[in-house]
A and B are shown apart, each in its own frame.
Chain A
Amino acid sequence: MKEFFNALADPSRFFLIFTVAVFAMLKWREFFTAPKVALTIFFGAVVFFVWAIRDPGFKANITKPDNIPIIFMLFLVGFFSWLSLYRAVKNDRRIDRGELPEEAVENPKKVLTWPDLVYSEFLCMLIGTAVLLIWALLLKAPLEEPANPNKTPNPSKAPWYFLGLQEMLVYFDPWLAGVILPGLIVNGLMAIPYVDTNPKGNGYYTFKERPFAITSFFFGFIVLWVSMIILMTFLRGPNQAFFGPFEPWNLHKVEPTVNIQFSQIFWEQWLGTSRPTGWFLRELPGIALVVGYLAITPMLLAKTVCKKMVAQMGNPRYLTMMIMFLIMVAMPIKMVLRWTFNLQFIVNIQELFLNI
């Protein structure tokens, strides 16, 4: 049984299962959000934790003061995803029948900031403070010895909310994963109100009226960000090697991997020659691939699958959205390539410290 879970936790397998699960949940949301099914899943998770915590290694990892909030977060994320989908499904049914969404029936007029919003905000603040207080009383702060530049803790992990960033750093150069991509994430989030002009779903839950937006959100947040927090917290051990949840953290776990560059694959394996010496010619296929991915794909999609979308959004909006979307999708592509082929960089210009 434990071996089975360890095998599932192999990164590519874990990522695949996770992604498929999220998409399945969206596709068959009517089934999965039924309270009985959702409760079964919830109890299944609880039973799993209760069973798994008898394993000393798993227990040590789960009960680390740093990791307890992550467990809370996982359950909360699950709960709120369920809640939003559950209400969306209900509303979609009503809209299909030609009725108004629930929220519109509950509050036919506008809701006031004061007292409605401020009141619930105040309540939330009180509850939040209480929870933090109890938390601070019950759990010791996980302080460590003073920092020492000669001794990096092994494994070194960022605070949980940054684990997604740290995981990105495994696949990309610091300038890309630490500067450009986070900048794009922030800017992309700020661009959403300008890009997404669909007025539907304002003030009520719905899925059918904005399937693309909600699916992208689930993909970007749950699949990319949350799954990486899980991966980083529970599946990476010393030396950032991957460990199953029930595998002891062996300092000397050997993972024989040797990186390969895209230029090597292209020139040596496909063409059977040696790589050109100048970096430009050597990296040309990789550069072409990256540029093609970002420049040609949007056009191809605009001509085929996304025709309607372009007509609705107009070119500038469509391009902004598509490029952001493609960059987001590039992340898992690169991860899977690294895990399966040990591909280190697609463009690898060491001479200029520019790798993609």
Chain B
Amino acid sequence: MAAAAAKPAAPRPKVQLVWEPKELHRRDWMLVASWSLFALSSLVGTLFYVLRYLFPNVTYEPPLQFKAGLPTEFAPGRVDERFKASFGTWVVRNELGLYALSTVCTHLGCTPNWLEGEQKFKCPCHGSGFRKTGINFEGPAPRPLERYRIGLADDGQVMIDKSAKFQGEKGEWANPESFLYV
């Protein structure tokens, strides 16, 4: 009997199934605090830079309205490429007047090239072709190049407003603002 009493009690199971709040010692507290600080700061930092990433430092957008010079500067039957690089616009003059074409391919948005010899715009990405009017006729582009609002400023210069677009396939080219009679 005595031997049985001397037997040590069964060891307590090591695994704690129920979480009971332990008393925090000073060292433990330091550990927990620094880890939480670390986690918090990485979270905040990551979030901040994710948001920051959405607003790049540079703006590529040139102003939406610009003056393109006097109507007489544009030769009839020619595609004027002076504003292609700066404003993404071709200004074309036909017998009746002027119109401004967007330089964004309506397929996937590459910048087509004007081929003087063939009298067409040709996109280098998937080969869409547009006539001088902007109408698509070959390759995959599903609709014509868009036209911008065009008018005369007070000083007699041609004024192009890229905030208004006119889509030929919707019949918007009939809108007087999309064409300047001069």
Contact = CB atoms under 8 A, between A and B. Distances in A.
Q: Do A and B come from one complex?
A: yes
A355 interface: yes
B53 interface: no
The size bracket of the interface on B is: 20 to 34
B115 interface: yes
B140 interface: yes
B172 interface: no
A187 interface: no
Nearest to B169: A350
A326 interface: no
Interface string A224-268: 000000000000001111000000000110100111000000000
B117 interface: yes
Among A151, A173, A239, A240, find the residue whose CB has the most chain B CB atoms closer than 10 A.
A239
B174 to A, nearest CB: 16
Given A150-B84, A150-B111, A152-B110, A172 B127 contact: no
A156 B124 contact: yes
A169 B140 contact: yes
Q: Is the interface of A mostly helix, strand, loop or mixed?
A: loop
Contacts of B136: 259
Contacts of A152: 110-112, 123-125
A153 interface: yes
Contacts of B113: 154, 239
B124 to A, nearest CB: 4
Contacts of B140: 169-173, 344
A259 B143 CA distance: 12
A33 interface: no
A254 B139 CA distance: 13
Contacts, number: 82
Q: How large is the interface on A (under 10, 10 to 19, 20 to 34, 35 or more residues)?
A: 20 to 34
Contact of B126 (A154, A170, A342, A344): A170
A350 B107 contact: no
Nearest to B170: A351
B142 interface: yes
B169 A239 contact: no
B126 A351 contact: no
B124 A240 contact: yes
A86 interface: no
A240 B88 contact: no
A257 B131 CA distance: 12
Nearest to B111: A152
Interface string A320-356: 0000000000000000000000101100101101010
Shortest 7 CB-CB distances between A and B: which pairs? A240-B127, A154-B124, A350-B169, A150-B85, A239-B122, A152-B110, A170-B126
